[in-house]
Every structure is written in C-alpha cells, then in structure tokens.
Amino acid sequence: GDSVTQMEGPVTLSEEAFLTINCTYTATGYPSLFWYVQYPGEGLQLLLKATKADDKGSNKGFEATYRKETTSFHLEKGSVQVSDSAVYFCALSDPDYKLSFGAGTTVTVRA
Amino acid sequence: GAVVSQHPSRVICKSGTSVKIECRSLDFQATTMFWYRQFPKQSLMLMATSNEGSKATYEQGVEKDKFLINHASLTLSTLTVTSAHPEDSSFYICSARGLGGRAGVSYNEQFFGPGTRLTVL
C-alpha cells in the first residue's frame, strides 16, 4: 500500500537557520504530494502541494519539489522564524483522495 | 479559501456516555468527508471516509458500531463515539473534499477542521 516516510524529529534550530525535512514515499501510480503544518492545539493546515513530477510547491518561504526519480518531496526553508515552530506532516493522496501521512516532524525554532 | 469547522472543540465526558462531534463545510459543498484520529505526538490515522447520502467506509481495525458516522448533507458530517471509554480519549479531526467549481476550492484537496479534543474520564 501507499506509505510516507518522514525524517524523525524533533528538530531544534536557531532563527534564520536553514531547515530541511526529508520525505520519501511509496505509491502505485502518480500521487499528489502535500506538506501540512500543525500548530500547537490546532488542526492541520495545508502548507504546499505538488500534483505531478517536477512540480515545485511553495508557500511562506517553504519549498518542496516532487521528485519522481527519487520518490521524494523534501521540505526546505532558507531562514526559519520562531513562528515556524510546529509539527510538519508529509502526505500523499491516492486516486480516491485518501491521504496517507508521515509520522510528523516537530520543529522548534529558538530566538 | 475553504473553511471547515468542528464542534465542540473540546469535550469531557464520563465513561459509558456517547459523544457527538460535528464537522461542517462552511463555504463549499463537501461530497466526501474524512475522519481522523490523532494520538499525542503521533500522526493522523484515517478512521473512515463518508460520502454524502451513503454509508461510511471504515478503515481496517476501526469499530463501526463504536464510531458512528453520518453524512446526511453536503455540508455536515457527524461522528458519534458510543459508550466512550478512557482509551477513546484522543484528538479527532475531520476533513472535507470539495465539489469543485468554487474559487479557492480544489477538487483533489482536503480541507481540515480544527479538531476536537475528547477526554473520557
């Protein structure tokens, strides 16, 4: 079945540091790929997405590129802020639009 | 953008009682709604998928008689936890997939509610 493997955390960074969270997937066909963010005590918010190979999703300074050859969708941000502290989930969507989530990576940014 | 609400945001109940959680799509019609469960510091586990007007499809290992799902309209789905016990305490999150054709709503995207924290004493 479809699955997502995500870099385990927690990750602790200083402000303005570079962030990367690795995500690889296993799926039949060509899934859509997503990054969701969950702030403490809240539900999930879509951060960015990509629907086909070589697409780059971007939002709020975050980027991720759909790499079919390496089955990856790594999340990056060049300069993190304290407000980026959250849990980040990589996910893929199957043809029935069911989402499979990675385990989540907790990111803490210190001032 | 599309908004999904959940009510209540928090609920505390006694063991043996039933609790109903509502999930509403506020500005779009949701043909499909999904219910997830999230344990502390863990990922989301899909419990069931419900399509408007039909019975929910439950994931393996999820008790359908324990977690009753109703999706009676294109804007409302409910999850009822029957005879709740402390092990049912969790964060329950719903999501909705849009009908499409509305600005900001993508047919292949799920929009998530803010979640409901259930504590069973």
pLDDT for residue B76: 93
Q: Determine which of A37-41, A73-77, A99-103 has the lowest per-residue pLDDT on average.
A: A37-41
Please give the structure tokens belonging to residue A34.
Answer: 């997503």
B71-74 contact pairs (CB < 8 A, 24+): B71/B33, B74/B25, B74/B29, B74/B30, B74/B31, B74/B99
- Model confidence at B24, pLDDT cuts 50, 70, 90, reads very high
Q: Do A98 and B46 touch (CB under 8 A)?
A: yes
B32 at A interface, C-beta within 8 A = yes
Give residue A56's identity as a one-letter amino acid code: K
Residue B102 has pLDDT above 60, yes or no: no
* Best CA proximity match to A19, nearest among A28, A1, A7, A32: A7
Dihedral angle sign, alpha carbons of residues B41, A111, A57, B102: positive
Contacts of A105 in chain B (CB under 8 A): none
Residue A26 has pLDDT above 90, yes or no: yes
* Best CA proximity match to B19, nearest among B6, B30, B32: B6
Residue B89 has pLDDT above 90, yes or no: yes
* Best CA proximity match to A60, nearest among A44, A42, A47, A45: A47
What mean pLDDT is reported for chain A? 93
Q: Convert the pLDDT of each residue in B42-52 to its tens digit.
A: 888 999 999 88
A15 at B interface, C-beta within 8 A = no
A97 at B interface, C-beta within 8 A = yes
pLDDT for residue B100: 52
pLDDT for residue B103: 55
Q: How far apart are CA A82 and CA A46, in angstroms?
A: 19
Of B42, B110, B112, the CB nearest to A97: B110
Q: Convert the pLDDT of each residue in B66-86 to its tens digit.
A: 999 998 888 999 999 999 999
Mean pLDDT of A32-60: 92
B24 at A interface, C-beta within 8 A = no
